[in-house]
C-alpha cells in the first residue's frame, strides 16, 4: 500500500480521537453544570422549621407554679412541681412515623425544657403526635442493677443524676412527678389557716406504668419559609378528672407506687394522663 493510504488512515484516526475527546469534554462540562445547578437550587429551596411547645395548663389557664387554681369540684389547689419524661416523640405524616426525639425531660419550672425545635422539613401536614409518657424500658436501667452508672451521663442529659429523677430504691426512673397542695377548708380560704392545706405528692415510675400517648394534631400544616409552632396543651385538671374517674387530691394525695393501693392510684392517674394532652 502507498504512503498516502497510511497517511489518510492516520488522519481519520486523529479526527475520531479528537471528536471523542470533544464529546467527552462536553459531557463533563454538562455534568458539572448539572451539579452546580443542583447546588444552587438546593441552596435557594425553602424548608420549614417546626417548634413543638408543651404548655402545662390548669383548665383554661396557663399553669404558673405556686399559684392558686380551682379544680373541677371548685376546690383550690396549687402546683409546686411538675416534671415528666417523654420517650420517642414522633410526628405522623401521610401515615408514616418520623422520630424527632428519643428522650426528653419536661420541667414546668424551666420553660426552655418545654420547647423542641426541628429544621429542614418539607411542606407537609402532621396528622398526629405520638410519644410515651415515661422512660422507655431500653433506657430505664434495663438490668435493674444496683450498679447502674448514672455517671455515664453529662449533667445536661435528661437521664443524669442531676435531674433528680432516678429512684435508687427501685433502680429506675420516676416517669412523672407532680407535687402541690390542696385547700381542705370548708370555706376554701386556707390562706388564712395554713393548717387546712393538704400536701399531695404523685411520683410514678416502673416499666408497667409506661403509657403511650396519641394526640390528634388537627392536620397541622408545615409551611416552607415560616416558623411553625405546634402547641400541645397538658391539662392538669384532666389528670385529676376524666369522664370515668376523678382523683380527689384531698383524700387521694400520695403515691410512689410502692403498695398495691398506691399502684392502683398510679395507674388511674396514668390512665387519665392519656387524655390530658391536646393540640391548641
Query: Per-residue pLDDT for 7 more than 80?
Result: no
Kindly state whether residues 156 and 271 are assigned to the same domain: yes
Mean pLDDT score, 100-129: 96
With bands split at pLDDT 50, 70 and 90, how would you rate the model's confidence at 18?
A: low
* CA-to-CA dists, residue 37 to 30, 44, 224, 275, angstroms: 11, 11, 21, 50
* pTM, 2 dp: 0.82
pLDDT at 5: 45
Kindly state whether residues 239 and 160 are assigned to the same domain: yes
Distance in angstroms (rounded) separating the CA atoms of residues 84 and 134: 7
Distance in angstroms (rounded) separating the CA atoms of residues 99 and 89: 6
Distance of CA 26 to the CA centre of its chain: 51
Kindly state whether residues 19 and 98 are assigned to the same domain: no
Distance of CA 109 to the CA centre of its chain: 17
Kindly state whether residues 40 and 135 are assigned to the same domain: no
Kindly state whether residues 34 and 56 are assigned to the same domain: no
Sign of CA dihedral 189, 195, 196, 201: positive
Query: Per-residue pLDDT for 112 more than 80?
Result: yes
Distance in angstroms (rounded) separating the CA atoms of residues 242 and 272: 6
Output DSSP code: residue 108. Answer: T
Kindly state whether residues 75 and 90 are assigned to the same domain: yes
How many structural domains does the chain have? 2
Widest CA span of the chain, in angstroms? Answer: 126
Kindly state whether residues 157 and 175 are assigned to the same domain: yes
Kindly state whether residues 39 and 107 are assigned to the same domain: no
User: Of 43-47, 117-121, 154-158, 214-218, which gets the smallest average pLDDT?
Assistant: 43-47
pLDDT 10s digits, 23-42:
555 555 555 655 644 554 45
Kindly state whether residues 138 and 267 are assigned to the same domain: yes
Domain interval for residue 263: 46-279
Q: Which residues pair with 230 in a beta bridge?
A: 52
Output DSSP code: residue 244. Answer: S
pLDDT 10s digits, 237-277:
999 999 999 999 999 999 998 888 899 999 999 999 999 99
Residue of 54, 49, 83 whose CA lies nearest to 176: 83
**3-class DSSP state of 270:** helix
Residue of 136, 150, 140, 137 whose CA lies nearest to 86: 136
The residues, ordered by sequence, that sit 6+ positions from 76 with a Cβ below 8 Å of its Cβ are 68, 69, 70, 182, 183, 188, 190
**3-class DSSP state of 154:** coil
Kindly state whether residues 30 and 116 are assigned to the same domain: no
Distance in angstroms (rounded) separating the CA atoms of residues 182 and 190: 9
Kindly state whether residues 31 and 163 are assigned to the same domain: no
Distance in angstroms (rounded) separating the CA atoms of residues 113 and 105: 7
Query: Per-residue pLDDT for 228 more than 60?
Result: yes
Kindly state whether residues 262 and 126 are assigned to the same domain: yes
Amino acid at each position: 500500500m502507498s504512503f498516502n493510504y497510511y497517511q489518510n488512515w492516520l488522519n481519520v484516526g486523529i479526527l475520531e480521537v479528537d471528536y471523542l475527546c470533544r464529546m467527552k469534554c462536553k459531557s463533563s462540562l454538562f455534568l458539572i453544570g448539572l451539579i452546580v445547578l443542583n447546588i444552587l437550587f438546593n441552596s435557594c429551596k425553602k424548608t420549614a422549621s417546626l417548634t413543638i411547645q408543651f404548655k402545662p395548663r390548669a383548665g383554661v389557664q396557663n399553669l404558673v407554679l405556686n399559684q392558686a387554681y380551682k379544680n373541677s369540684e371548685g376546690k383550690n389547689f396549687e402546683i409546686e412541681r411538675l416534671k415528666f419524661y417523654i420517650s420517642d416523640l414522633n410526628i405522623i405524616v401521610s401515615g408514616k412515623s418520623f422520630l424527632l426525639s428519643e428522650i426528653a425531660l419536661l420541667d414546668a419550672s424551666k420553660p426552655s425544657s418545654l420547647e423542641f425545635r426541628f429544621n429542614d422539613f418539607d411542606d407537609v401536614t402532621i396528622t398526629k403526635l405520638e410519644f410515651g409518657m415515661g422512660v422507655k424500658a431500653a433506657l430505664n436501667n434495663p438490668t435493674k442493677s444496683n450498679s447502674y452508672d448514672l455517671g455515664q451521663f453529662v449533667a445536661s442529659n435528661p437521664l443524669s443524676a442531676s435531674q433528680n429523677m432516678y429512684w435508687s430504691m427501685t433502680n429506675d426512673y420516676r416517669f412523672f412527678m407532680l407535687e402541690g397542695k390542696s385547700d381542705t377548708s370548708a370555706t376554701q380560704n386556707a390562706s388564712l389557716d395554713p393548717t387546712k392545706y393538704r400536701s399531695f405528692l404523685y411520683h410514678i415510675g416502673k416499666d408497667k406504668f409506661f403509657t403511650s400517648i396519641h394526640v390528634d394534631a388537627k392536620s397541622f400544616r408545615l409551611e416552607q419559609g415560616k416558623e411553625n409552632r405546634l402547641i400541645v396543651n397538658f391539662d392538669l385538671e384532666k389528670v385529676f378528672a376524666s369522664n370515668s374517674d376523678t382523683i380527689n387530691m384531698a383524700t387521694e394525695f400520695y403515691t410512689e407506687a410502692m403498695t398495691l393501693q398506691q399502684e392502683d392510684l398510679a395507674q388511674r392517674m396514668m390512665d387519665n394522663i392519656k387524655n390530658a394532652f391536646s393540640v391548641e
